[in-house]
Structure 1
């Protein structure tokens, strides 16, 4: 019976519970503080951008530097008991260089190495020292079928494998989520591709090639007003929204009041025009300034002037 328990490793496969990793919890907490401010510009962003942005925040990033557990519990042969497995993602360090290329989600990982691993412990004690693990980078030339141009890009081996799995650079960029691309360059490529597909400004001189591209990437076509917001970070989107608002010249108040008066006169809903139509003679209007300030002095003088004119 004990040998059976020792050989049993995964007791409950494919029964993983829905969990929130610390990385996702931190993203939710940080964005919740931003959106709690009712006067922030983020509330004036387009609804399609806010929906897509929160879908990205609530989604799980594809594991790159670790392998998540495939079962909920497992058997520990050393302690001879059943233990619950935890999902602790390894999140690397984001570098500015990764935004200039295609790293396929890889980052700089901080870890530990053992000092003098081949030295006997009696001679020199072994210590753990920190170490940064950098991905292997190389420069390659990639071709975009939609943009119809070659690009010299810094990539990793994982990025090249993902491009091969998606059968081309365009499919890899368009089918991957922004959180998995993890690069400003990749997100800008995606935004440029979607803008060209939505506007149809590609292969203007070759009708056969244009029809081929249109049919091949038809499922990625979205409205142009949505495509220009794809791949923008929250700060970039807020800055873009502020620039759009400042580009609209404000209308002076007198012009708005004039337009409102013209519309009321045209519809016949203005109070002054209704009084003129319903009255037999001219309507006499009196200023209430004198009644409030100097009523007891000006009212007798006004009555004398009116009686003299009559």
Structure 2
């Protein structure tokens, strides 16, 4: 029978071994393969988005379904041996319904439960039985003072505790990074809040409330060009960049040549216009045909003729 955590006794102080969890290693490997392609659209994304994106990739997800070990070695009282404690994060299953609400980082966890000792088994006795652990969901109405509207959303108990700890929905959304929000709905809400703060379009008819919101959330104000990229995953950002590039019409070649000609005429460096203005003194230009095509054959002969005439 496997040892349980309750059988372990800490032996060392708070000294942990630096490791890279398997979920972070998978994220790094997957994105490294994408960014290796030099022709990919991800290289044309804004620098602030790429920097923020890689910060989330290299960050550690906040532990939700497990506790981070505080020691490196522990004593197993059942097996009477010393064990090295491993840091194995429980990531869980992220269903599509989690992107439509605020789950506070909770997911569906696949685990095991200890079977009853006196239950009769039909085939073989099993000490551990597989089980899926689902979070408890409920529908609530939350208020955002930045957006000035009520939002009906599906939440978990942990999400409600986090909102209370941050003293409101707005602070919880703005102070939590995209990795720990773990929801497209929350990331879209964060992008909308940041855009409104950047444009200062909140409470246009109430000056006192407008000044109050401006002072209260001044630390979260960023440029609108940067705020519109917050919360987008890599596919959404690449699609947005491609739409921007497709909406920009290319300048035809004849217009570019026309602009170059006008620029040379204004600067007075166009040789053809000088020749037309002064036909008596045409501009002399040496031909480069002999130099490029027959230079290695004609240059020695020309040099001999020039020496003979001197």
Measure, in 2, the Cα distance between the counterparts of 1:277 and 1:144: 72
Q: Which runs of 5+ in 2 are unaligned?
A: 1-6, 286-310
State the partner residue of 1:33: 33
Cα offsets for 1:264-288 (capped at 9, x unmatched) = 2212333434556787345699xxx
Pairwise CA distance, 1:124: 7.3
Distance of aligned partners of 1:126 and 1:245 in 2 relative to their CA distance in 1, 3 Å threshold: same
SS of the residue aligned with 1:54? helix
SS of the residue aligned with 2:19? coil
Pairwise CA distance, 1:10: 2.9
Measure, in 2, the Cα distance between the counterparts of 1:271 and 1:25: 63
Cα offsets for 1:244-264 (capped at 9, x unmatched) = 111111111111111111112
SS of the residue aligned with 2:192? helix
Distance of aligned partners of 1:272 and 1:17 in 2 relative to their CA distance in 1, 3 Å threshold: farther
State the partner residue of 1:297: none
State the partner residue of 1:17: 17
Distance of aligned partners of 1:33 and 1:123 in 2 relative to their CA distance in 1, 3 Å threshold: closer
Measure, in 2, the Cα distance between the counterparts of 1:76 and 1:272: 93
Alignment of 1:85-234 (within 5 A): 85-119=85-119, 125-126=125-126, 128-234=128-234
Measure, in 2, the Cα distance between the counterparts of 1:174 and 1:91: 23
Q: Which runs of 5+ in 1 are unaligned?
A: 1-6, 286-310
Cα offsets for 1:63-101 (capped at 9, x unmatched) = 011111012222233344432211111111111100000
Pairwise CA distance, 1:106: 0.6
Pairwise CA distance, 1:218: 0.3
CA RMSD of aligned residues (A): 2.8
Measure, in 2, the Cα distance between the counterparts of 1:19 and 1:275: 75
TM-score (norm 1): 0.84
Alignment of 1:60-71 (within 5 A): 60-71=60-71
CA contact (8 A) 1:139 1:154 kept: yes
| 158-167 or 16-25: bigger deviation | 16-25
